[in-house]
Amino acid sequence: MIAANKFIKLIYLIAFTFLFTTWCYAVEVRGKASESVDKTWNKKKTIEAIERARVKACRNAFDNYIRDPEKMPESKRMIFESIQDQIYNNLGEYMTCTHIVSEPDLSNKDDKKKIKDTKKVTVVVRANIDETRLDIEIKKSSKIFASDTSEKSKLAMIFFSRTVAAQRQFDERVTDVEKTTTGVEINEEESESGVSSMTTETNVSETGGSTLKKADVTEYIVDDNDTAKLEAGMKEIFTKARFEPVSGGRQVRKNWRKLKGEIIKSLESGGGIPEEVRWEIEDILMEKNVSYVVFAYFDVGVPEQDAATGNQIVNAALTVAEITRLGDSDPVSLGTISGVQMRGQGSSNDIAKSNAINLVSKKTAQKLVALINSKGIN
C-alpha cells in the first residue's frame, strides 16, 4: 500500500516537472487493470484496491506501448529488453499517468452494487509515453552509441524520391466465341402403304469468350530536390544515433553520373534500383572504408485538398530500403524495411510535400538505426 502510494505520487511529480518540456514528444496510450476486493464490503479496502488498480493500469499502458509494433518495432524492442529492468524500476521518468478515464465511484449506488456483484474494481487510464527520453536510453545501450567519436561508423546514403508523371490505362480486350452444332434425326414408320421416313434437323449454339485486361503502365519522374530533403531528414537521425552519415554520390565520385543515370532510368520506368548497379557502388564504398550503405527510394503522392481545413495534403511513402554492412569480405545485408507512410499538411503544395518528406525520412531512419542496433554490431 505504501509502495503504491509512493509510485502514484512519483507519477504525479514527474507529470508536473516535465509537462512543458516533453509534452510535444509524448505518445498517448491507454491502460486497463482490475483488482479483487473482499467478499464483505469494506470501503477502506476498496479504496486501496482502486489505488492498486491505478498502478497496474499505468504499467499496462506502458506494456501496450511496448507491444505495439508501430511504436516499438521488433529490432528496437530487442534492445529494450536488455534494459527493461532499469526502465520499469524508474517508469516515472519515461511516462506520465495522471488521467483517469474511468474508475468506480464509491458514492454511486450502481458502482457499489457492481463491485459487490463482481468482487473487483476496474480502472482505465490514459498515459503519455516520453518517446524521446525512452529512445535516448535505448540508443545509449547500442554499441554504436558506446563507441568513441573517432570510431563512428560511416554510413553512405543512396536515396531517391520519385513522383507519378503519367499513367497509361488500357481498354479491356474482349474475345467472343460462338459454337454451333447441327444434329440430324431420322425417324422411320411402317404403314400399309409402305415405309415412310421423317428427318429432323436441330441446331445448338453455344457462346462464350474471354476478357484480357492489360496492366496499367505508370511513369515516374525522379526529383533531385526532394531527394536532397530526404537526405537531410535522415542525416539528422543518423547523426544523433552516433553514425557518420556521408553522401553516397560523393563517395562514388567520377562514376556517380553513370550509375545515377542507370538508377533513375529504372526508377522512372517503374522499376527499382538495379542489383548490378548496387554491387558496383558497394565495391567502391568498401575501398573508401564505409561501414554501411543504405539504398532506398520513396514515392511522393500528388497534392490533395483537406476538405475540413482547406490545407494541402501530400502522402509520402518508403517503397523499400535495404541496409548493408560493408567490410573486408563480401557485403552482408542486415535487412530491409518498407511500408513507412506519412502525411504532410501545409498552406501550399510545396509546404505539404516538404513536411511529408521530412516525416517519412526521419521515421525511416529511426527504423534503420533500430535495425542496426538489434544486430549488436558497430
Instruction: Determine the pLDDT at residue 65.
Output: 93
By the 8 A CB rule, do 59 and 31 touch? yes
C-alpha cell at 299: 514515392
Is the pTM higher than 0.85?
A: no
Q: What is the predicted pLDDT for the residue at 51?
A: 95
- 81 phi-psi bin (left φ>0, alpha ψ -120 to 50, beta other): alpha
Per-residue pLDDT tens digits of the chain, which is 378 residues long: 445 554 444 444 444 333 333 334 578 999 999 999 987 888 999 999 999 999 999 999 999 999 988 888 776 777 788 788 889 999 999 999 999 999 999 999 999 999 999 999 999 999 999 988 898 888 777 655 555 555 678 899 999 999 988 655 545 565 566 666 555 555 555 555 554 555 555 565 666 655 554 545 678 999 999 999 999 999 988 887 778 999 999 999 889 999 999 999 999 999 999 999 999 999 999 998 899 999 999 999 989 998 888 899 999 999 999 999 997 678 999 999 998 999 999 999 999 999 999 999 999 998 888 888 777 665
- The pLDDT score that the predictor gives to residue 207 is 64
pLDDT of residue 166: 63
Give the count of beta carbons closer than 10 Å to the beta carbon of residue 118.
12
Round to whole Å and give the CA distance between 49 and 93.
25
Tens-place pLDDT, residues 343-376: 999 999 999 999 999 999 999 998 888 888 777 6
3-state secondary structure the chain: CHHHHHHHHHHHHHHHHCHHHHHHHEEEEEEEEEEECCCCCCHHHHHHHHHHHHHHHHHHHHHHHHHCCCCCCHHHHHHHHHHHHHHHHCHHHCEEEEEEEECCCCCCHHHHHHHHHHCEEEEEEEEEEEHHHHHHHHHHCCHHHHCCHHHCEEEEEEEEEEEEEEEECCCCEEEEEEEEEEEEEEEEEEECCEEEEEEEEEEEEEEEEEEECCCCEEEEEECHHHHHHHHHHHHHHHHHCCEEEEEHHHHHHHHHHHHHHHHHHHHHCCCCCCHHHHHHHHHHHHHCCCCEEEEEEEEECCCEECCCCCCEEEEEEEEEEEEEECCCCCCEEEEEECCCEEEEEECCHHHHHHHHHHHHHHHHHHHHHHHHHHCCCC
Position 13 scores a pLDDT of 42
